[in-house]
Amino acid sequence: MKKNDLSALQENCFCFCDKEISREAPFQVPIDIPEGFTVDSAEAAAAVTWSTDHLSCISEPCLIQTGPETEDIGVRYAVRVQGTVTLLVSVSPVRNQYGQGNGSVSVIHTEEIDQVVYYAAKFDRCPDFSQMTVEDLLIVPPFYGSPLTVTGTLVLPPSPDPQSYVFTANSGDSTVSVIDAAASIVVATIPFTSVPTDLGVTLDKAYTYVLHGNTNLVSVVDHQTLTVANTITVGTGPRKIQFDPAGELAYVMTAGSIYTIDLAIQAVSDVFSVPDAADFALDPNGQFVYTANTSSWSVDKFDVNTGQLVASIINTFEYPSLIQTPYAGNFAYVMNGELWPKGVTEISLSPLFRGEDFDRQFETLRTIVFSPDSTRAYFLEPYSVPFLIDNLYVVDTATQNIIANVSFPNAFDLTVTPDNQYIYAAQPNDNTVTVYRTSDYAAVTVIPVGTGPSAIAM
């Protein structure tokens, strides 16, 4: 939608979608205990009931950037919750000065709410207030004449539309940007003390694991709160993460080792050595990892259960340095070549053997990305004017043929939507993510993110 097409919204839509969102509303309620009675805060418990009869929802139109040109803008809706929540807060047990009795004290408290809770692609996507919850109840004892206080957090309902996030690892400012895929805007920015260099989203879409390549740390981001829930120590320089198809384990490659993380407890459960491996990929069945070895010029196959080397392709590759497996299928693509240009070879996974080479040479590849249904693979070269403008190659995996060659300016990493209709490209030189249609590879939306987005996952 162009700017001059928005005249009908001019009166109600004045600015871009830049309002911070939050579904949490902290509260604190002072409670005066009647004279002659006491509350032991060590044993006391608080209870809260509430009424949302005086809450309302407003969908406020706002503007977002939808294309590469400054005049390319569209409309999203900031969903604002306004009004009051009436709380009945109780504390028990309340006893007399002799420790007798088992009563309670209750007060009525009114909490004002006025905040944007999420962005929506459509008008009138208000939350279901019956799903509101109260969390983190805490009793604060009296202090220097202040009354006993109950604190907690009202958690407002989520969007009625399924939430889908895109995450970028911004190496330039040590943040992760969280994009609401439906609204095409950044809804949270998560800061880190260590540089985020790569990331991956668990199959159940509950967590994002962030690798810090300048340390030995992996951070775990909870999608419910969009905050860091845990930090896991692995080996030096974690560089890539893959998840097993059962959704139970993650594999993180560091310098010379692969660490197994148990996703249920978010802790390292095993580690095995992969000497001189430059890259690795997990097979679609989750039983083996395959490494590209730049020292022995081999592709090596390891059993993830034992950590043992079980097979190798040797004496056929020249400096294999990049390998990627699809979500389904018995093959992988390997980039190899000591100098430039590079070649890409298809290999069979079981049994392990070298297949055919693609009939095209590449300057080098930044990444190989498969569509979720494994019917397409995307080979991304560095973008360079005027030499490497058409830097994305689209492969039909059924025929192993390149079917398109298009331009994704300054793209460094890619992720594909579950329905295969869009590609999100991270552009570190521009501090943006551009969304492309897979039907014609045209740019449809440009989303500003943090500084230097070098990795992206959905």
CA distance 254 to 157: 40
Instruction: Calculate the alpha carbon distances from 136 to 24, 127, 154 in Å.
Output: 11, 22, 9
Q: Render pLDDT for 314-368 as a digit per residue (tens, 0 to 9).
A: 999 999 999 999 999 999 999 999 999 999 999 999 999 999 999 999 999 999 9
- The answer to whether 150 and 137 are in contact (CB under 8 A) is yes
Q: In the chain, pLDDT over 70 holds for what percent of residues?
A: 95
Evaluate whether 224 touches 207 at the Cβ level (below 8 Å).
no
Preceding peptide of 351 cis, ω within 30°: yes
pLDDT at 134 over 80: yes
* Res 68: pLDDT: 53
Q: In the structure, how many helices (H) and strands (E) does the chain have?
A: 0, 35
Which residue bears the tokens 């009296």?
A: 142
Kindly state the helix (H) or strand (E) to which residue 51 belongs, with its residue range: strand 45-65
The conformation of residue 7, written as its DSSP 8-state character, comes to G
**Which residues, 6 or more positions from 40, have their beta carbon under 8 angstroms from its beta carbon?**
95
Contacts of 322 (CB under 8 A, 6+ apart): 278, 279, 292, 334, 335, 365, 367, 368
Which phi and psi (to 5°) does residue 144 adopt? Answer: 50, 50
Own/partner contacts of 335-340, CB < 8 Å, gap of 24 or more, are 335/292, 335/362, 335/364, 335/365, 335/368, 336/292, 340/364
In this predicted structure, the answer to whether residue 210 has a pLDDT above a threshold of 60 is yes
Whether pLDDT at 69 is above 80:
no
Residue 42 confidence (pLDDT) above 60: yes
Instruction: State the pLDDT at residue 12.
Output: 53
Per domain, the residue ranges of the chain are 3-155, 165-457
User: Would you give the DSSP letter of residue 342?
Assistant: B
Q: Write b or e for each residue in 322-347: b if 16 or more Cβ atoms lie within 10 A of its Cβ, otherwise e.
A: bbbbbeeeebbbbbbbeeeebbbbbb
State whether residue 205 is helix, strand or coil: coil
**Cα distances (Å, whole numbers) of residue 281 to 322, 324, 369:** 9, 5, 12
- Rounded mean pLDDT, 364-386: 96
User: For residue 362, what are the CA distances in angstroms to 171, 367, 410, 454?
Assistant: 26, 12, 16, 21
Q: Say whether pLDDT at 266 is over 90.
A: yes
Nearest to 93 by CA among 129, 46, 58: 46
How many C-beta neighbours within 10 Å does residue 55 have?
A: 18
DSSP label at 4? Answer: G
Q: What is the pLDDT of residue 75?
A: 79
* Residue 114 burial (C-beta neighbours within 10 Å; 0-12, 13-18, 19+): exposed
pLDDT at residue 124 tops 60: yes
115/8 Cα distance (integer angstroms)? 25
For residue 276, count CB atoms less than 10 angstroms from its CB and return exposed for 0-12, middle for 13-18, buried for 19 or more: middle
Closest CA to 447 of 172, 194, 21, 76: 76
CA distances from residue 431 to 83, 160, 450 in whole angstroms, order as listed:
38, 31, 6
**The pLDDT of residue 96:** 87
Q: Record the pTM.
A: 0.78
Q: What does the alpha-carbon distance between residue 184 and residue 177 come to, in Å, rounded to a whole number? A: 12
DSSP state of 384: B
Task: Say yes or no to pLDDT of 176 above 80.
Answer: yes
- Band of pLDDT at residue 64, cut at 50, 70 and 90: confident
pLDDT confidence tier of residue 132, bands split at 50, 70 and 90:
very high
pLDDT digits (tens, 9 = 90+) for 220-253: 999 878 889 999 999 999 999 999 999 999 999 9
The tens digit of pLDDT for each residue in 16-27 reads 787 888 999 999
**Are the C-beta atoms of residues 13 and 128 closer than 8 Å to each other?**
no
C-alpha closest to that of 396 among 363, 362, 358: 358
The DSSP bridge pattern shows strands 322-324 and 277-282 to be unpaired
Higher pLDDT, 122 or 155: 155
In this model, does residue 9 exceed pLDDT 60? Answer: no
The count of C-alpha atoms lying within 13 angstroms of the C-alpha of 32, restricted to the half-sphere facing its C-beta, is 3
- Give the rounded percent of residues in the chain with a pLDDT score beyond 90: 78
pLDDT tens string 433-443:
999 999 999 99
For 165-457, CATH gives 2.130.10.10
